[in-house]
Amino acid sequence: MNNNQQDIKAAAIRFFEGCATLEEQARLQQYIEHNPRSMQQFRLWEEEWIKTGASRTSSTDEAWLRLMQTIDAQKATASEDTASHDALLQHHETEQYHVIGLRLWHKIAAAAMLLIIVTLTALLATDNTGSVQTFCCEAPAGSHTRLTLPDGSVVWLNSASKLTYTNRFANDNRHVELKGEAFFEVTKHEGKPFTVHTAGYDVTVKGTRFNVSAYDNDSLSTTTLINGKVELSNGSQHITLSPGLAVTLNRTTNKLTLSKADAQADAWRTGKLMYSDISMKEFAQILERQYDVKVHIASPQCANMRISVMLQNNETIDEVLDAFEQITSHKASRNDRNITIR
């Protein structure tokens, strides 16, 4: 370990202890954003810190969220005297293709915060082998959440998503059911595959990291593999995924298609929304989930318009709509949770 990394590790330990300076927090942010592998090293340092007997007050992700919030708040405070918002909007050259790109350094709205309280309920069911307890973890529209399963696997749930499993999980099976979108970090247990059931197909793994998007009202369901290996089956087709690949199910034809993975498939976990070449109708569904609103599109022309979206700093719904109006010929009006686009 070189001297620079030793300094970063020391700053990370002080951060876990809750006494890192603002300068150390900024260095940690730069270190982690510079290389995707840095977050893995950050996690390893936290594990070492925990093993030394230190009291753990939060998870790495919660601690990292605190770091981001602290730095963003400092930036917001420093800029309040000069400007309230700074927006970068990119406009594509053609009429029918538009790009929304926002970089707004401002105070994060409470409604847009990640890791909102998990809705956890236990429902009692009965089968011919006795009592089975079913647990349901839900991330309501407008929120994200993170949970750790009994086997140590970690799941991040995107907005308007639900994960269920039973009290037999990690005993004679490791089965979960997903409605919506989630990112999984599955702990490997020999002889105990981990299976995610969705409405269109099943995903079976041994130990890996992957993203599954399977909302009930989407025409496509997609599984993206980050590392490891997964197997997908919809009854008639079986596909084995390698890292960097994705499988998409067309729910109309029930066909699975293999493609190159979208590098930003799990960007939503860090408060980012990145979608390439989607219709306004598809974007409206994303807005409904992420901001807990209802979007009505007044014309088919607007619904079919193609856009690319890049939201990176927990923009409010009003900021998103303002940007949309500035770069397109369409108007957006909002009445509380109801939005109309003309």
Angle in degrees, CA 12, 16, 19, rounded to 5? 90
Work out the pLDDT band at 54, boundaries 50, 70, 90: low
Among positive and negative, which fits the CA dihedral 65, 225, 213, 132?
negative
User: With 90 as the cut, is the pLDDT of residue 8 above it?
Assistant: no
pTM beyond 0.95, yes or no: no
What average pLDDT does range 85-113 have in this prediction?
33
Among positive and negative, which fits the CA dihedral 8, 45, 15, 157?
positive
The phi, psi pair for 253, rounded to 5°, reads: -95, -15
Work out the pLDDT band at 99, boundaries 50, 70, 90: very low
The phi, psi pair for 336, rounded to 5°, reads: 60, -115
Helix (H) / strand (E) containing 323: helix 317-327
**262-283, pLDDT tens digit by residue?**
877 888 887 777 777 788 888 8
Which residues share a beta bridge with 252? none
Q: Which of 108-122, 185-199, 238-252 has the lowest mean pLDDT?
A: 108-122
Helix (H) / strand (E) containing 127: strand 119-127
Work out the pLDDT band at 184, boundaries 50, 70, 90: very high
Between CA 231 and CA 13 the distance in angstroms is 38
Helix (H) / strand (E) containing 6: helix 3-17
User: With 50 as the cut, is the pLDDT of residue 85 above it?
Assistant: no
SS3 per-residue string spanning 159-225: CCEEEEEECCECCCECEEEEEEEEEEECCCCCCCCEEEECCCCEEEECCCEEEEEECCCCCEEEEEE
Average pLDDT in the chain: 75
What is the pLDDT, as a whole number, of residue 180?
95
The phi, psi pair for 45, rounded to 5°, reads: -65, -40
Work out the pLDDT band at 339, boundaries 50, 70, 90: very high
Work out the pLDDT band at 148, boundaries 50, 70, 90: confident
